[in-house]
Structure 1
Amino acid sequence: MKYVNAKAILPDALLKELQDYIQGGYIYVPASPRQRKRWGELSGYRIELHRRNCKILQEYSNGFTIEDLANKYCLSVYTIRKIIYQK
């Protein structure tokens, strides 16, 4: 997270109001719930995992064994089972 000087982004009236509460300290301003991203959405990893899981399901339906898939994708047998039986 990058720190930003409040003087550079806030109107003078708001800055003076904040100074009544805190001076020279740090304030964390959380994002509003509608702007929050779910895990992996910002980096694109969520989509990457979804594609991988779809490939695993397809290969399983084409005859690959759970053990073969675990070796191919470097995942545990337990994880492959969770992917296959999630739906």
Structure 2
Amino acid sequence: MKYTNAKKILPEKLIIEIQQYVQGETIYIPKQEKEYNHWGSLSGGRQWLDHRNAAIKHAYKKNRSIEQLAKDYFLSIETIKKIVYSGNK
């Protein structure tokens, strides 16, 4: 997160208005919701996990045991259960 002095970017009237609520403190102004990127969408991490999870679900449907999947993917049994049972409600 980057910090910027408000005097550099905000009009003086707006700074005076904000000072009615807070002075000399750091405040966080979030992005508008439409500006958010979902986790991993830029790096490809989300796509990789989705692909891995689909492969785990497929192997489970082909009668691979949860214990074997945990060993194959170096994940806990509980994590494998969360993956194979997700979306089955």
Write the mapping of 1:38-49 to structure 2, written as runs, cut at 5 A: 38-41=38-41, 44-49=44-49
TM-score (norm 2): 0.66
Unaligned runs of 5+ in 2: none
Aligned residues: 87
Corresponding position of 2:83: 83
Query: Following the alignment from structure 1 to structure 2, what is the Cα–Cα distance between the partners of residues 73 and 54?
Result: 12
Please identify, of 40-49 and 74-83, the stretch whose mean Cα deviation from structure 2 is larger: 40-49
- AA aligned to 1:15 is I
Write the mapping of 1:1-87 to structure 2, written as runs, cut at 5 A: 1-41=1-41, 44-86=44-86, 87=88
Query: Following the alignment from structure 2 to structure 1, what is the Cα–Cα distance between the partners of residues 23 and 78?
Result: 53
Query: Following the alignment from structure 2 to structure 1, what is the Cα–Cα distance between the partners of residues 83 and 21?
Result: 50
TM-score (norm 1): 0.67
Unaligned runs of 5+ in 1: none
Query: Following the alignment from structure 1 to structure 2, what is the Cα–Cα distance between the partners of residues 9 and 25?
Result: 17
Query: Following the alignment from structure 2 to structure 1, what is the Cα–Cα distance between the partners of residues 21 and 63?
Result: 65
Alpha-carbon distance change, 7 to 70 in structure 1, aligned in 2, over 3 angstroms: same
